[in-house]
């Protein structure tokens, strides 16, 4: 075979598909005989926003606990940027940002102190840390709160601070675990928009867990979880087509109705 032929074959080869930022295969978890998750498989591509939609008790929190390394699955595997959560958890978690369902700020500390604590955990220099803190707060219009105790902030602004914190170490994957629970409608919309803007700018893969159908309509894909199992996975348009329903809410109810 001549070099020119080899060159033509190389140039015409199909480009390799991008690797998943997060990949979970056949995850199962049971507590005292109760199956919380059963054979759940999903992936997130770089820059993709996937909505995880399910009613209360569907298994969303259990899935988030497994993806964040808080618990180990009974079966299955989790990889973040190719790093195995079982054998290389520190490397996997270094590429993960999380906004938990339960508030996780020290309300007696200032915004700056809360954010610096996070950057210290990730070994950032103070100069780099402060530059990223200022950048994140300015992007979300929160710079005026830098030295205020978190206790003085509204619920919506506290959530935004947690979002800033989750992105300070430049993760490849962002998990939003029912992050809008307890927020008023205006704050919920603001948080959704902030995540969409940051995702577009930084290319972060986002998994947005929610039980609110209005939060999934602009997602690239939607996963419907019910009783620990995936009932649908695909684009929102496919969800409507596959269920024969006209709205996301009707489609969701048809898949989760007891």
The per-residue pLDDT of the chain, averaged, comes to 90
116 part of a folded domain: no
171 part of a folded domain: yes
Q: What CATH number is attached to the domain comprising 79?
A: 3.40.50.300
What integer is the mean pLDDT of 7-24? Answer: 67
Q: Give the pLDDT score at 132.
A: 96
The CA radius of gyration of the chain, in Å to the nearest whole number, is: 20
119 part of a folded domain: no
The pTM is what? 0.88
120 part of a folded domain: no
For residue 158, which of 207, 115, 215, 222 has the smallest C-alpha distance? 115
Q: What is the C-alpha separation between 159 and 143, in angstroms, rounded? A: 15
Alpha helices in the chain (DSSP H): 3-12, 60-67, 89-93, 111-121, 126-139, 155-167, 185-202, 236-243, 248-256
Split into its structural domains, the chain has a count of 1
What integer is the mean pLDDT of 236-253? Answer: 93
Q: Give the pLDDT score at 11.
A: 47
Q: Which positions ≥6 away from 11 have C-beta within 8 Å?
A: none
CB-neighbour burial class of residue 130 (10 A; exposed 0-12, middle 13-18, buried 19+): middle
Return the half-sphere exposure (C-beta side, CA atoms, 13 A cut-off) of residue 64. Answer: 27
């Amino acid at each position: 075979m001549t070099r020119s032929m080899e060159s033509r074959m190389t140039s015409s080869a199909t480009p390799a598909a991008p690797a998943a930022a997060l990949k979970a295969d056949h995850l199962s978890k049971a507590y005292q005989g109760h199956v919380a998750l059963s054979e759940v498989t999903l992936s997130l591509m770089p820059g993709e926003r996937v909505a995880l939609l399910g009613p209360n008790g569907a298994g969303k929190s259990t899935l988030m606990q497994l993806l964040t390394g808080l618990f180990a699955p009974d079966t299955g595997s989790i990889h973040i940027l190719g790093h195995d959560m079982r054998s290389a958890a520190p490397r996997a978690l270094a590429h993960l940002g999380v906004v938990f369902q339960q508030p996780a700020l020290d309300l007696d500390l200032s915004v700056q102190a809360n954010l610096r604590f996070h950057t210290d955990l990730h070994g950032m220099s103070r100069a780099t840390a402060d530059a990223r803190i200022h950048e994140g707060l300015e992007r979300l219009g929160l710079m005026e709160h830098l030295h205020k105790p978190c206790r003085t902030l509204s619920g919506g602004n506290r959530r935004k601070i947690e979002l800033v914190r989750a992105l300070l170490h430049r993760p490849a994957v962002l998990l939003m675990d029912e992050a809008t629970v307890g927020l008023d409608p205006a704050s919920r919309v603001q948080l959704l928009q902030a995540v969409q803007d940051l995702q577009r700018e930084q290319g972060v893969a986002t998994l947005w867990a929610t039980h609110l159908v209005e939060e999934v309509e602009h997602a690239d894909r939607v996963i419907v979880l019910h009783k620990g199992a995936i009932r649908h996975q695909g684009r929102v348009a496919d969800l409507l087509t596959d269920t024969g329903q006209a709205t996301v809410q009707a489609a969701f109810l048809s898949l989760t109705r007891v």
